[in-house]
Structure 1
């Protein structure tokens, strides 16, 4: 009789409503292809030419606007003649987008002043065309990547906004960014509003991903701003897995009209609790914006994009790296560096696996036959019951199923099951015997596993050898515990008992049989 399995923390680790917010696939119909073909040899080249000419006009003006500033001037808002250039620069920038097909913008709501809300929280961020919203807001200050100021032409325009620059490589950049945003927010309206994309990367607008805390640490009122693109054919979206930048630009130039909608929501003033807890502040503002947009929220973030990029380099599908890193980091305490190491390990279990591990591959990785105990552990990892384990399930399985029982006490107990005469080491015969009984392993397979554990090749496996191998493959501790539970959890008539927690061994009356072991709250074996 198969034991009943309940996955640890099933509800808190539920799959996100939107599995992949970083993919965009264009489905072109016959009429779309015909329109693009005609526009590509007629209107689109003229549009591109005019866009380039206007950029060549605005570039020197923006460069002049930021030229010859002393360090003291750079720390203050523009004044005098530099401000006089703003209407002309904004007009030319609006002309760039007009020539690109954005002939008008639909605006809802009212934008408030910097004194009422020093920060504009703008989402979803899905494309480089989102810069049109910044132009509409008179090129107010923006939070941008440090490298963006070096971009030809666009770099001068970004610098003219007096941006707050962020470097993802500099460990001190995040703290410095928060300090600068806070300084400007406390100026009493002297600085322009700060335009921030809190998501930090481009998604496909199917949801709102995690908001970074930069806009919320100052604890000041913010004005949420929602962006929409209502074209029937979405050539606008530019995200990690989809059309490249030039293809996105060209296909958008081939549309008769590109529709953008900007909606200013009422100012959100943080409560005392939200001021103390910027994460709560960010979460609540995101929910308000998601309700307005009619989309769900997920815990995906830029770190997921980095994992997607690594997965691609490992010849796996990009989506294999999608794990909702922020959620796993908060609930399981796993770091990004650990996640990268686990992704390498996941790929090594079965190279070129397409991002999924089968029961057969899981057994091969552990060098074990497909025994009932191994099947049960596999099903604990396979949270959605699909018959395969993806990377997210693998990480959760390691952290919630295997690692909790991979304690010193449990490893010592497992070692004693092998070393029945307490001599301090295992022989090949002892290992073969228990592996044959526990997992129906052939002696030849057991001998191969013994050689892997016996790293110094002295014909003995000490506790240190045993522990080192168990740390490398923590599934073994759970496997031995599962086997032990399955072998001891029987009723008086010899039938297996269903387990509600996947580990405790109880009889049909709810009591633990004498001489058995159960898992206590910290994952240790506890004698009854």
Structure 2
């Protein structure tokens, strides 16, 4: 099918998009982006034509029939549609079915052909170069949502990223800040495929593909939910999870990015860094200028000369007030439960959370905090502490890795020696760490290319092992 059906379907899809382009161009050209014109007869006709063309495209792709459950609400009844789960490129099907507006990055409108089709549905554009873009996006969503149904409905995937459909992650609040009724919409693909490109390829290779979309009853927020978008999002997510028959998880878009970051040290399934990351966000410790702040932390740590800190000292180091949440974070590093912690481990963990793909930066910072002044070297035990902290695990053997790097058997290594070895062995974790530590890399999650969507969430990640009640210690 890869050499027969797949290329034919791609060609048909390209032809249909070319066919749709002139209609979208005529309907969107000379149109105001600030106001919405009346839906006159010829615009309604264009709407119908584009829906037919898009439906033919999906039909050619193997979606011969689609199951629709429930009734779609009118724009004045529910200005916002919240969809979940978001897992593949085929999630564009509901957009073409309804011609609803979506939230997209502003660069998309400059893409030839595709940009014109996107502009037709009146999207809310987000600009990465504009620091106030998020605020402007929320204001635009509110403006349209409170227009009394004049604007098209806005379709939002509140998870904010692609997942593997095993659960619903934390919803972002953007769809719920306007405090208007929303209509939850759930989508189902009765297949077990995961991985964005794998889904695209194998779906187009199948003779027939199933797609189910269900419009749930309108959810009208209470007065409390109108004042609290987070509560509104939580309750809507619960309704959608019940309809899908899947669990919910407190992991968020940022946790997905951390879990699936393309660094040389990918997080194992039992990592406690996801719990640590939630505490970092809750305490407002997520760094804006991570490079500068982490280097500053590293310099301050060196002056402490390996001195351990108590809880009050830890709060003073971070310049934050003592709180239960800060105590939970402190407990993650209080390995011997003697009310003391190694602040170096906190800085390493923070570095991973703030820049998960930059293995070099984290390791260089860690070496600088652990190395001796005399020779700038660390021992095998110190390397184990560094890597355990960077991976967020309790036990880790680094004997094979250390022996391979310390070829002269000196019992020490410098950062230069370590990184020279890593440059020659870019898969050093796969070759030396994971084989020596059974279970560290045993789950399918980190296999990005075969089993997991980009920035997805793995069903094996569980916060139950890292709760504040009987915290599992990450190190030593």
TM-score bracket, shorter-length normalisation: 0.5 to 0.7
Residues in 1 aligned to 2:333 and 2:8: alpha-carbon distance in whole angstroms: 59
For 1:91 and 1:323, locate their aligned partners in 2 and report how far apart those are by CA, in whole Å: 45
Matched, 1:68 2:18: no
Query: CA separation of 1:66/1:258 partners in 2, compared to 1, >3 Å: closer, same or farther?
Result: same
> How many angstroms does 1:228 deviate by?
0.6
Give the TM-score of the pair, scaled to structure 2.
0.59
Of 169, 182, 193, the residue aligned with 1:234 is 193
- Aligned equivalent of 2:86, options 108, 125, 131: 125
2:80 pairs with 1:143: no
Cα offset for 1:144?
Answer: 1.7
- Per the alignment, residue 241 of structure 1 pairs with none
1:451 CA displacement = 5.3
Aligned to 2:266: 317
Counterpart among 231, 253, 257 of residue 204 in structure 2: 253
1:287-436 alignment, distance < 5 Å:
287-308=238-259, 311-313=261-263, 315-317=264-266, 323=274, 327-337=278-288, 396=329, 401=334
| Counterpart check, 1:274 vs 2:225 | yes
SS in 2 for 1:51: helix
Counterpart Cα distance in 1 of 2:60 and 2:295: 47
1:101–1:256: 8 Å Cα contact kept in structure 2? yes
Aligned to 1:43: 5
**CA distances 1:333-381 after superposition (whole Å, capped 9, x unpaired):** 3315588899999xx9xxxxxxxxxxxxxxxxx989xxxx9xxxxxxxx
- Rounded Cα–Cα distance in structure 2 between residues aligned with 1:323 and 1:312: 16
Question: Highest Rg: 1 or 2?
Answer: 1
1:201–1:322 Cα change, 3 Å: farther
Q: Tell whether the 8 Å contact from 2:169 to 2:253 is kept in structure 1 after alignment.
A: no
- Per the alignment, do residues 151 and 397 of structure 1 end up closer, same or farther by CA in structure 2, a change over 3 Å counting? farther
2-structure distance, mates of 1:334, 1:264: 39
Distance 2:265 2:182 in 1: 40
Matched, 1:262 2:262: no
User: Scaled by the length of structure 1, what TM-score is found?
Assistant: 0.54
| Mapped partners of 2:112, 2:295: distance in 1 | 37
- 1:161 alignment counterpart: 121
Q: Is the 8 A contact 1:148 1:158 kept in 2?
A: yes
TM-fit CA distance, 1:204:
0.7
Q: 1:322 to 1:398 in 2, by over 3 A?
A: closer
Displacement after TM superposition at 1:94 (Å) = 1.4
Look up the match of 1:109.
70
**Could you list the runs of 5+ residues in structure 1 that have no partner in the other structure?**
1-38, 239-244, 349-365, 374-394, 408-447, 454-471, 476-528
- For residues 14-58 of structure 1, give each alpha carbon's deviation from its aligned partner in whole angstroms, at most 9, with x where no partner exists: xxxxxxxxxxxxxxxxxxxxxxxxx22332232222112111111
Q: What is the RMSD of the two structures over their aligned residues, measured on CA atoms?
A: 3.8
Q: Equivalent of 2:48, from 65, 82, 87?
A: 87
1:63-103: CA deviations, max 9, x gaps?
2221123x4x6432463333431111111111111111111
Supply the distance in 1 between the matched residues of 2:97 and 2:50 (Cα, whole angstroms): 12
SS in structure 2 at match of 1:210: coil
**Residue in 1 aligned with 2:183?**
223
Aligned residue-pair number: 321
Would the alpha carbon gap of residues 261 and 292 (structure 1) be closer, same or farther in structure 2, given more than 3 Å must change? same
Structure 1 stretch 153-162 or stretch 81-90: which is displaced more? 81-90
